[in-house]
Amino acid sequence: MRGRSIIMVTVIALIATACRSSGTTSANPDSTTAPTSASTKTANFGTLKNVCTPGHPSGSPTIGVTPTEVHIATFSDRGFVGRPGLNQELFDTADVFAAWCNERGGINGRKIVVDKRDAALTETKPRMVESCAQDFVMVGGGATFDQDGVETRLKCLLPDFSGFVVSAPARGADLVIQPLPNSIKSLQIGILNYLAARFPAATKRAGVLTGDISTTKVVADQNAEAAKAIGWNIVYSDAYPAAGLADWTPYAQKLKDSGVKGLIWIGEPEGLAHLLHAVKDIGYHLDFVRADANHYDKKLIDLGTDALDANFVFIQSGFLPFEQANPSNATGQYLQAFKDYLPAGKSHAYLGLQAWSAWLLFATAAKDCGNDLTRACVYATAKKFNTWTGGGLHGTTNPSAGTSGPCDIIEVATPKGFTVAPGQHPNDGIYACSPKNIYALTGDYGKGVTLADVGQSISNLK
């Protein structure tokens, strides 16, 4: 018997283990404020200059903004009883960024106050109602069932600089800025092209396995559509119970019986690790497993152990790898910030990197608004960003267009850790960029919620 998998979510990463969060200091019991005095420490991050700056703010131009503070909502599912600490890295990253930024002057002198909105998987809407009444914007967070809160968010005209979005209603919604866009109209298939070139025979015996949740099924269907379009042959497609599995052997046996040699896996690191052990235990071997970016997580290494020797797990990422971090690059600065402000926090997780990029994007846009910090200004400013790298954290993206980017880097998991997969052809630093990496989806996978759908207009944004 292997371990238990509780809830499966996806789309550039959604599940994480529990990790401690920082204390709280505001009236909101799940809020945190960081140091209030500006220091002489550099406010540069990677290639970004003066991300946070001191100033002499005045007035309260909109909800969540006072002469001294700006209240920012960060969503996560940390309180989900089935997986305590789910996506804790989003809260940890918020704490670290607020501390880092506030010590350097904040947002033109206003200190960031993080209001942690724990959706606990099933409480997205009530947390969104609270956020509408108290917060300036949402930054660096995400909720597994984000479709439950998107209409509420748009009705109150609350912009979202998302850490991640999952459902089609949220992915394609208005008033959302994604530092690494997750489009409902296109798919980044760099990893599928890579696997097709390296394991051509295995792609003729491919399988798709996903959690039995509507959002993950959509992601699985999108990957299956794209794989078929570039010549893959899908011989097996299935969904495992999202409520949990005590034994993955039946699914391992299905893979063997179907002759699957290459697997498209949609889920979380724990479930994949247990499946790979089950595959190994029955004496079978997969040539490759393609996993989403949320599997760039130490949990996969810790739980997968020797099963990763026999089954190659490839992970598509857009970020400079942790393995290449050093004091002079953006990833190294990100890790140093955790060491400085929250050393016990969950720093080595893909979602944390993605959330940090969202915080940088927000702070950069907000800085340009000066003292008149309004939702209309910060959103309009952010929508002008058509090239974005998070200061060098990741490959170039286009938050303005909201479309998937053409650049990626592929990691492979081994029992000793992650390493850059061989046989890539980088043409932009460490990243391989090509128009062929973007596949235009033809299936109907739903649509985003618009302001018009909830009786609102962009002209009402203040």
What's the rounded mean pLDDT across residues 211-230?
A: 93
Query: Can you tell me the distance from the alpha carbon of 449 to that of 454, in angstroms, rounded to the nearest whole number?
Result: 8
pLDDT digit string, tens, across residues 298-340: 889 999 999 998 779 999 999 999 999 999 999 999 999 999 9
Q: Which token pair is 224?
A: 């299956």
pLDDT computed for residue 24 by the predictor: 29
Q: What is the DSSP letter of 141?
A: -
* Distant-in-sequence, close-in-space partners of 283: CB < 8 Å, separation ≥ 6: none
SS3 297: strand
pLDDT digit string, tens, across residues 225-249: 999 999 999 999 999 997 668 899 9
Nearest one of 152, 180, 185 to 168, comparing CA atoms: 185
pLDDT computed for residue 290 by the predictor: 98
pLDDT digit string, tens, across residues 89-99: 999 999 999 99
Task: Write down the mean pLDDT value for the chain.
Answer: 90
Amino acid at 18: A
Neighbour-count burial for 411-433, b at 16+ CB within 10 Å, e otherwise: bebeeeebeebeebeeeeeebbb
Fold of 186-317+406-440: Rossmann fold (3.40.50)
Contact yes or no for 440/186 (Cβ under 8 A): yes
Query: Can you give the three-state secondary structure of 378-447, one letter per residue?
Result: HHHHHCCCCCECCCCCECCEECCCCECCCEEEEEEEECCEEEECCCCCCCECCEEECHHHEEECCCCCCC
Contact yes or no for 28/115 (Cβ under 8 A): yes
What's the rounded mean pLDDT across residues 254-264?
A: 98
Query: Can you tell me the distance from the alpha carbon of 247 to that of 250, in angstroms, rounded to the nearest whole number?
Result: 7
pLDDT computed for residue 40 by the predictor: 52
Q: Is the pLDDT of residue 39 over 60?
A: no
Share of the chain above pLDDT 70, in %: 90
| Terminal CA-CA length for the chain | 56
Domains 31-180+325-398 and 186-317+406-440 share a fold: yes
Fold of 31-180+325-398: Rossmann fold (3.40.50)
Q: Phi and psi at residue 40, in whole multiples of 5°?
A: -90, 5
Q: Is the pLDDT of residue 28 over 60?
A: no
Least confident of 38-42, 51-55, 401-405: 38-42
pLDDT digit string, tens, across residues 267-291: 989 999 999 999 999 999 999 999 9
pLDDT digit string, tens, across residues 44-88: 999 999 999 999 999 999 999 999 999 999 999 999 988 789 899
SS3 187: strand
Q: Is the pLDDT of residue 179 over 60?
A: yes
What residue segments make up the domains of the chain, in order of their start? Answer: 31-180+325-398, 186-317+406-440
